[in-house]
Amino acid sequence: QLQLQESGPGLVKPSETLSLTCTVSGDSISSSNYYWGWVRQPPGRGLEWVGSIHSSGNTYYNPSLKSRVTISVDTSKNQFSLKLSSVTAADTAVYYCARQPYGKYDYWGQGTLVTVSS
């Protein structure tokens, strides 16, 4: 059974860097030949794609966030990670990680709320 689990601080101060990790079990990132992505959802609002990384390390980022986002993969731990720098209150959201075979998101983590506040 494929499972994804987000982890990281639930509170980040303005101007600092948000760091989250997604741990995958039940599938191997390195052998999947899939993209793995991050999607966020501000409270009471819709879904926003943040970025994706392929098992090979190739990445795509949302242009509106591109200058602040870095996604990396650690195949030895079967994890991929998100870093978002210079955060503001507008980055407060539930952050989901998801498997992304052929463009669709078929398995999702439960999501983790990250609040940006001093």
Binding residues vs other proteins (CB under 8 A): 37, 39, 46-49, 52, 60-63, 96, 98, 102-106, 108-111
Of 75 and 108, which has the nearer Cβ to other proteins? 108
Of 110 and 115, which has the nearer Cβ to other proteins? 110
For residue 37, the minimal CB distance to other proteins (Å) is 8
In 1-118, where does DSSP find H-type helix?
29-32
Of 80 and 105, which has the nearer Cβ to other proteins? 105
Cα(56)–Cα(58) distance, rounded to whole angstroms?
Answer: 6
Q: Which of 95, 75, 76, 81 is nearest to 33 (CA)?
A: 75
Cα(9)–Cα(2) distance, rounded to whole angstroms?
Answer: 24
